[in-house]
Structure 1
């Protein structure tokens, strides 16, 4: 299982996303899974990956929260959470998305 956080320099949410991913992995019983981070610095780089804004969380190369909204724009991403829109998903949403990917 490879988890990667695709992010831009101007969006601060990627750090908290990494922390939430670590919490979700611990909840799922997979705390040793590797989380990597990739800085997206150009529209060309964004076009090479499933980038949907920063942070985009991928699992084995696929967007963990696919919404069909891939972009080449170097912008922050909006997620839909139980509390409304936010700059990153909740720990519970990440945990559920990882668990559903494993089955």
Structure 2
């Protein structure tokens, strides 16, 4: 019986060690997941800051270009209106061809 008692104690010890190892693995996985989450958050914040600085510069550039583009748009709109007026005048002032006679 001594052998079976030792064997039983060894088995219990092995199960205890196995359960402790499993618990440690769970803790390490949880810690790993938390560290990954924190790293993603940190990288996201860094990218947001870099992106915000770049966007600020681009907004400033666009605001500087805006008056020139508005002036160009106004000039092109006036040009298009003038051309449309000329087309309308040419249609009304030129004689219309006589309709072809039907045979």
Indicate the TM-score class for this superposition, using the shorter chain for normalisation. under 0.3
The two structures have a TM-score, normalised by structure 2, of 0.20
Higher RCO, Cα 8 Å, sep 6+: 1
**Where is the strand percentage greater, Structure 1 or Structure 2?**
1
